[in-house]
Amino acid sequence: MAKSKEGDLVSNKRASHEYEILDTLEAGILLQGTEVKSLKDHGGNLQDSYILISGRKVILKGANISLYKFGNIHNHEEKRDRELLLHKYEIAKLKELSQKQGLTLIPLALYLKKGLIKVKIAVAKGRKAHDKREALKTREHKKEIDRAMKHRDE
């Protein structure tokens, strides 16, 4: 799993607003050379992307990895489907969780770990509009409390 937000190459910032994150998992990803170079240059977008399980394959759909600016005729396709690398038992666990009503699989971030690009996958439940407002209120309330505590300590 990603250690910090600063280490992310690409992150899905809207995911925590749109979904309630229940569980996370780390997966490898099959990429072409120009995709790796583009991601290291922070050229990607995970919004509106999701994860689909078909048979024994786990596929990342809708992720946009920008064309590598120094690429040539061998540059990659921006919105192609990319296969994720997981163990059989992890695939079975994700398949079981995704078949539960209302749960979906979404990518949270692409990041580097020991020189390899990894995907942080979340098992999430979609939020309703009133839940989103409640989450914003809670977050704002927590910030106010933290500010008050900080000023009290000074």
67-103 tens-digit pLDDT: 887 777 777 777 889 999 999 999 998 888 888 777 8
- 116-126/103-113 β-pairing: antiparallel
pLDDT value of position 154: 66
DSSP E strands: which ranges in the chain? 8-11, 19-29, 44-45, 50-54, 57-61, 64-65, 82-85, 103-113, 116-126
What CATH class does 5-127 carry? mainly beta
Closest Cα to residue 1, out of 96, 138, 102, 11?
11
Residue 17 pLDDT greater than 90, yes or no: no
Residue 25 pLDDT greater than 60, yes or no: yes
Within 13 Å of residue 16, how many CA atoms lie on the same side as its CB? 9
Q: pTM of the predicted model, to two decimals?
A: 0.74
Higher pLDDT, 136 or 116: 116
Residue 146 pLDDT greater than 70, yes or no: yes
Token digits of residue 131: 């839940």
Average confidence score pLDDT of the chain: 83
Mean pLDDT value across residues 102-113: 90
